[in-house]
Structure formats: structure tokens, C-alpha cells
Amino acid sequence: QFMRLALPMACSRRERVALQQALAGLSSALRQWEALDAVATHELEQGLDSMARTAYLSPSHTGLLGVAGLGVEALASARSKMIRQRSAAGKRLEELHSEMEALAGKLDALCMELGEGPQSPYVPGALLTRKDAARGALQAAGRAFHNEAALRHSLLGAYAELQPSQDDERKRLLIAWSERPFSLADEGTRMASLRKDTL
């Protein structure tokens, strides 16, 4: 269902349909991005938690845990389980990242489907009733998605290289991941305005 927009009567029917499709696609992409981010953040937290537990079950902590209490085999089994969970989280994070990159590409495609023409910079609160304004909104969201995806790519690299003993690095990684400097959609942000303007 296309959103209701007060499109200029001067627009042809084809142009109105193209605008509606572009903005409906933008609105959908913004919602999907938030959903994917929530799942990815949960996966990262699970992976980092497994890493912390792996460190706790390492040989250096054997004296604290007590081999007699848990048993050597139980310790090895538990540690192996945590390593597998970390690996599974990493794989899932890569899959989610690919989906987020695809969303950025989708916005590029939507902008191209509007055809060539002038583009107005996105201004929060502006009516997206013309192609130039719609191009600006799509470009603003697309740039934010591409930049955030690039940052997440580097953070995933850091995740893969983290050692269980690096407690401070784990905490810093989660903070860097959660800050979302390019795509944060909290109240008052540019992305929050984009979501409101496409409703």
C-alpha cells in the first residue's frame, strides 16, 4: 500500500506512481534497517558474552574454578561450547551485514529508478512531493547506510581478531557498535526525521 502524499497535480500519473514507489521503498528500507540492527546487536552481545565465558573457563582460571568441582572434561566441553557459540554469532553477523549492505544498494537502485534530474538536499520536515526532494532523501539515507555498513565491516574485523582475555576491547567494541554515528534513528536525529517524513 502506497503512502498518501499531496503530490503536485502537474505531475503525470507515471511520475506520481514513481514517487510513491520510491518513498514507499525508502520507508520500508528504514524499517528493515532498524530491525536488522536490533538482531545484529543481539548477536554481537551473545558473541561477546561467549567470548567472556571462554576467558573465564581458560586454564589460567582453573585454580579459581576448581578442577575437582567441575572436572577437566566438563571444563573442556564448556569451553568448546562457548567457542562454537562465538563462531556461530560471527557467521550470523556476517549474514546480517550482507543484508544491510543490500539495503544500501536498494536505495541506490530506487534513486536510479526515478531517472536523471535535479536533486535537492534533504531538509528534515520538508514535503517529499517532488522528484528532486525524493532523490535528496534517498541519497541521504543511502549515504548513511553505506557509511554505517563500512564502519560495521571494520568492527566485524575487530570482532574476529578479539582474544577472550581482552575484556576492555570487548567493551569498547560493543560501545562503538551501538553508537551508530551515521544511521542512529533516535528522536532528534536526521534519520528519525527521514522516517517521519516518509510516513
In this structure, of 77-81, 152-156, 182-186, the range with the lowest mean pLDDT score is 77-81
pLDDT of 146 reads 98
pLDDT at 10 over 90: no
The pTM assigned to this predicted structure is 0.84
Structure confidence by residue, pLDDT tens digits, 32-45: 999 999 999 999 99
In whole angstroms, give the CA distance from residue 86 to residue 119: 45
Q: Share the mean pLDDT of the chain.
A: 87
pLDDT of 80 reads 85
Structure confidence by residue, pLDDT tens digits, 14-62: 888 889 999 999 999 999 999 999 999 999 999 999 998 887 776 665 5
Structure confidence by residue, pLDDT tens digits, 105-115: 999 999 999 88
Confidence of residue 136 (pLDDT cuts 50, 70, 90): very high
pLDDT of 61 reads 57
